[in-house]
Chain A
Amino acid sequence: MDRRNFLKYSGLASGTLALAGISSAGFVAGRNKDGNTGFGRTPYGKDQFFNRKPFLVEQPTYMKVGTPERIGYLDHLFRRNAELRYHIFSYGREGFQKVRDEGPEKLPEPLKSYYIDNPSAFEEFFRAMDRANEQKANWEKYKDRYMLAEAWSAAHASPLGAPGAFPREPRGNPEESDFSGVNEDSLKLKSPQHGSRLIKKISHLFGATLTGITKIKKEWVYQGALRGRGRGDFEVPGHWKYAIVIAIPHEWESFYANPTYGTSHDAYSMLRFISGKLETFIKKIGYSARSHIPPTSYDLILPPLGIDAGLGEQGRHGILITPELGANTRLAAVSTDMPLEPDKPVDLGIRKFCNKCKICAEECPGKAISFAGSPYKTVRGYKRWSIDQDKCYTVWNSVATSQPRGCRICLAVCPYSRKNNWIHTIAREADPRDPTGLVSSAMLSMQKNFFSYPGGKEYLPPPEGNNKTYGKPPDWLRTEEWFDI
């Protein structure tokens, strides 16, 4: 072979090898756990973060259409259900059928007024309880297959809600509990900007993936019950000036394998430790602090605070969507009177994308998510996306888990809930910069035509479905990989 031919065929071989190399680099970029933003990643992992500066706006993207009102505590599904259950149990064993037969008119206030205004919620509660009984009976069939998933969830749930759990629930009035342990010999803070920068650094070092700061609007404070003091209306305490909103994701591999392999408790337990430590830190530098932590230990509504703090926008599924974590964004907050500089909200085009997308609505096993073309419902003075919480809860009671511990399908299928690798970064960076909407339409078209989704009912157990998960469960959650079944 002469020199010329040698170079020609070497070039051909090199080109083929280079393409193979680039393809394998692509495969590894998809497989690489470093693409999982947040969960376990170092707080110094700067490559995870999205530059929000070009997208800062003065007003959040939610739409104020009336006089804002504070949210009543019965609007919170868990509190409402807990109250109804308490009432049912007060009648003993017959309570369930008796209350169901009597209807909402015989309920004590404020349950009576709530359910008369929302009769479908009353019916749905009992439907969910029927499904809960089926779920319990079915668990015998599934407990071996999902043993590791159950253990994973239970392990993360173990620090939640136990007596003496950290951080301790507030006791007494906020004017006492939020100032308990505050350092009275504190130094003068140089400026609110210094305060915000310090708190963000510390919060990341405690494990937060995202941290934003905002002033607390009174409409984001629950009404009718206050932790530490109990039932009764209250004025928003004057020292609840700012909310430090922290966000972390669920562990990504189990998250994609929802509804049966994922859990909410992984993020909740991490949020509990991060916000509890932040509360202690703030008190030790001389300011009041109170943690607000899911699933139920909060006096503030967290998603709108996250929007105000510039973390992201509300999605069709009602969840906060952030550019880094997509809908895999779980929130907690610490309220404080520490002087801080608030962040500005952002407009990343997420709301507009959700107008078109509807994948979460198509995949929701309970049809709890609206298909409307744009936010349609006015809730306490704001036009917004609003899911049917009660239908959602029925799904919790239907999937093949030992107890109702969530579904999270709408979060997993959301096109924003993707890895931090080159292909999704291009989409993430290009879409908000395109005023024509062509990029989002192209992305959505690819999302709907290339990706496969099991479809609504398939996530439920037989006979309705086939216990499908959105993504493949990781080996460390597949019992059959480690145990003889």
Chain B
Amino acid sequence: MFPYSTMLQPIFWMVIGLLTGVFVIGLRYWLKDLNISMNWWKWVLLSFWIVLLAVTLCGSFTLMGENEWTAGYRFLLFFGTVITISGAGLWMILRRVNP
């Protein structure tokens, strides 16, 4: 089943890797244009938040795929709220703390 079929699985994840690479390049320009200076720990925090966002979406859709639709929605609602609040906090840190 796509994207887990023998042929398409490696292609799928290569495409995801490529998209992520383009995203990181674009993100650097966005941050520069928004006058946000970055250092190593800011990148770690931001990366961690992006991974959390991806895991939340992926987890929610995994549950929906299992026909646990209610669990999927509640998972998305709960962790989505956590992600949104932590995202707002992270944004403030990124803007206000200048290394």
Chain A residues within 8 Å of B, Cβ to Cβ: 4, 7-12, 14-15, 17-19, 21-34, 256, 419, 421-423, 446, 449-452, 471-472
**Number of contacts between A and B (CB, 8 Å)?**
125
A202 to B92, CA, bound (A): 61
Cβ contacts under 8 Å, A423 to chain B: 59, 62-63
A183 to B60, CA, bound (A): 56
Of all chain B residues, the one with the shortest Cβ separation from A31 is B65
The contact string, 1 if C-beta is below 8 Å from chain A, for chain B 13-26, is 00110111111111
| A interface, over-half SS | helix
Partner of A28, one of B3, B23, B59: B3
A28-B3, A30-B65 as given contacts; A21 in contact with B27, CB under 8 Å:
no
* Contact in complex: B66, A451 (CB < 8 Å): no
Partner of B23, one of A11, A419, A421, A446: A11
A9 to B61, CA, bound (A): 26
Partner of B71, one of A7, A27, A451: A451
* Contact in complex: A21, B61 (CB < 8 Å): no
Q: How many whole Å from B40's CB to the nearest CB in chain A?
A: 21
Of all chain A residues, the one with the shortest Cβ separation from B24 is A11
Q: Which one of B33, B54, B63, B66 has the greatest number of beta carbons of chain A within 10 Å?
A: B66
A26 to B60, CA, bound (A): 8
A19-B54, A23-B57 as given contacts; A28 in contact with B1, CB under 8 Å:
yes
* Contact in complex: A25, B26 (CB < 8 Å): no
* Contact in complex: A25, B58 (CB < 8 Å): yes
Chain B residues within 8 Å of A, Cβ to Cβ: 1-4, 12, 15-16, 18-27, 29-30, 33, 53-54, 57-68, 70-71, 74-75, 78
Cβ contacts under 8 Å, B27 to chain A: 11, 15
Q: How many whole Å from B67's CB to the nearest CB in chain A?
A: 5
A11-B25, A11-B30, A449-B74 as given contacts; A26 in contact with B61, CB under 8 Å:
yes
* Contact in complex: A27, B61 (CB < 8 Å): yes
Q: How many whole Å from A126's CB to the nearest CB in chain B?
A: 39
| B interface, over-half SS | helix
Cβ contacts under 8 Å, A452 to chain B: 70-71
* Contact in complex: A8, B29 (CB < 8 Å): yes
Partner of A19, one of B4, B21, B57, B70: B57
* Contact in complex: B57, A22 (CB < 8 Å): yes
A191 to B33, CA, bound (A): 72
A26 to B18, CA, bound (A): 19
A10 to B48, CA, bound (A): 22
Cβ contacts under 8 Å, A446 to chain B: 75
A8-B30, A14-B20 as given contacts; A23 in contact with B15, CB under 8 Å:
no
Partner of A30, one of B3, B33, B54, B66: B66
* Contact in complex: A28, B65 (CB < 8 Å): yes
A452 to B53, CA, bound (A): 24
Q: How many whole Å from A10's CB to the nearest CB in chain B?
A: 6
Cβ contacts under 8 Å, A24 to chain B: 3, 61
Closest 5 CB pairs of A and B: A11-B26, A30-B65, A26-B58, A15-B23, A26-B61
Question: 16 A-B Cβ contacts within 8 A?
Answer: A4-B33, A7-B29, A11-B27, A12-B23, A12-B26, A14-B18, A15-B20, A15-B27, A18-B16, A19-B53, A22-B58, A25-B58, A26-B57, A29-B4, A30-B68, A446-B75
Q: How many whole Å from B87's CB to the nearest CB in chain A?
A: 13
* Contact in complex: A34, B4 (CB < 8 Å): yes
Q: How many whole Å from A469's CB to the nearest CB in chain B?
A: 11
A27 to B2, CA, bound (A): 10
A14 to B62, CA, bound (A): 22
* Contact in complex: A22, B24 (CB < 8 Å): no
A19 to B59, CA, bound (A): 12
Q: How many whole Å from B29's CB to the nearest CB in chain A?
A: 5
* Contact in complex: A7, B62 (CB < 8 Å): no
Cβ contacts under 8 Å, B74 to chain A: 449-450
A19 to B60, CA, bound (A): 12
* Contact in complex: A18, B19 (CB < 8 Å): yes
A21 to B23, CA, bound (A): 14
Cβ contacts under 8 Å, B65 to chain A: 26-32
Cβ contacts under 8 Å, B61 to chain A: 23-24, 26-27, 30
A7 to B22, CA, bound (A): 8
A422 to B60, CA, bound (A): 12
Cβ contacts under 8 Å, B12 to chain A: 21, 25
* Contact in complex: B26, A9 (CB < 8 Å): yes
A32 to B2, CA, bound (A): 9
Cβ contacts under 8 Å, B30 to chain A: 8, 11-12
* Contact in complex: A472, B16 (CB < 8 Å): no
Of all chain A residues, the one with the shortest Cβ separation from B57 is A23
A8 to B29, CA, bound (A): 6
Q: Which one of A22, A26, A423, A452 has the greatest number of beta carbons of chain B within 10 Å?
A: A26
A26 to B3, CA, bound (A): 10
* Contact in complex: B23, A25 (CB < 8 Å): no
* Contact in complex: B1, A14 (CB < 8 Å): no
Cβ contacts under 8 Å, A449 to chain B: 74, 78
Q: Which one of B1, B62, B75 has the greatest number of beta carbons of chain A within 10 Å?
A: B62
Q: How many whole Å from A35's CB to the nearest CB in chain B?
A: 8
* Contact in complex: A21, B2 (CB < 8 Å): no
Partner of B19, one of A15, A29, A450, A472: A15
